[in-house]
Homo-oligomer: A and B are copies of this chain.
């Protein structure tokens, strides 16, 4: 579980998980200027994410992805050198967002600021819900080469949310619970569920676990009122 809050024995990893466009035998393009291939690449990423989020990384074959895209495995390997590279490219944007959130969180000091950090995390997870389903869900992902870098990054979020540098077991556990609560709330949401309600509820749940003030949820007034747990 890559998004596990704490994992033993993981050294610093090479951070070059950039979504470099792999170029095959013909080297048609090497930089950032948009080409027709970029659109194909985007299609691949979208389809692959959908399938992987559904069946898991290990259980999703390149053949399946290619078939769904309407072409062959070989064409897929033109765009991505390996299956792991494909996964790294899928994960890239969310990791960038997470890095940004952590950077923003470094200045956090008051409970209200931590609450805003939680809100930011909820938004991040909501934005990348399908991806989070993969990262937080699929054990086979953690064995993927390009993903080892994600873990240390994620871990930096923990003390920020806890509001302290040195954490005891209860504090660590509380943060783990809060983060997975957010994951579960957003990832397991049904299509019929109003996203805003889901998001607000996830936020409130995390705040409740962390003992943070849950006001200013940012949704409709009636939504913010729900779930304070009790009257009074």
A interface list, Cβ under 8 A from B: 1, 4-6, 8, 53-56, 58-59, 133, 137-140, 143, 169-170, 172-174, 176-185, 187-194, 197-198, 200-202, 205-206, 208-212, 221-232
Check A143–B188 contact: CB distance below 8 A: no
Number of copies: 2
B190 in contact with A6 (CB, 8 Å): yes
Q: Are B177 and A4 in contact (CB under 8 A)?
A: no
Are B180 and A188 neighbours in the complex by a CB distance under 8 Å? yes
Looking at the assembled complex, report how far the CB atom of A174 sits from the nearest CB atom of chain B, in whole angstroms. 6
Q: Tell me which residues across on chain B come within 8 A of A198, comparing CB atoms.
A: 169, 173
Kindly report which residue of chain B lies nearest to residue A192, judged by CB atoms: B169
**A138 CA to B205 CA in the complex, in Å?**
24
A172 to B227, CA, bound (A): 11
List of 4 A-B pairs having minimum Cβ-Cβ separation, nearest first: A180-B184, A211-B229, A225-B230, A56-B139
